[in-house]
Amino acid sequence: MTFAVIETGGKQYTVEAGDTLQIPKLSGDWKKDDVVTFDKVLLVDDGVNTTVGTPYISGASVKATIAEIGRGKKIEVVKYKAKSRYFKLRGHRQPYMKVKIERVD
């Protein structure tokens, strides 16, 4: 089974064909069922040969389909100082994409 290590959103992921993973939202205008190509491939292993990039492998790519675009659970940030009537409450929902890996080239 061929697997690869890709870099996206400042993180590295080990992927195989058929995997589904959640990544930070990609910039641009993407919709569900669009095909995404990841060019930043760090390592490819086909069971016999292992290719390691310096830092990336030229010509290697990973194709994926966007399965879902959404926002994560709300994270509440609280600032509080005792005895001074200071209280701030802010919320944040991080956008994400779920992608299904179609093939590793």
* Domains in the chain: boundaries: 3-104
Question: β-strands 3-8, 11-16: how paired?
Answer: antiparallel
**Mean pLDDT of the region 70-83:** 97
**Mean pLDDT of the region 50-60:** 94
* pLDDT classification of 1: cutoffs 50, 70, 90: confident
pLDDT value of position 105: 86
pTM, rounded to two decimals: 0.85
* pLDDT classification of 15: cutoffs 50, 70, 90: very high
**CB-CB contact of 39 with 58 (8 Å):** no
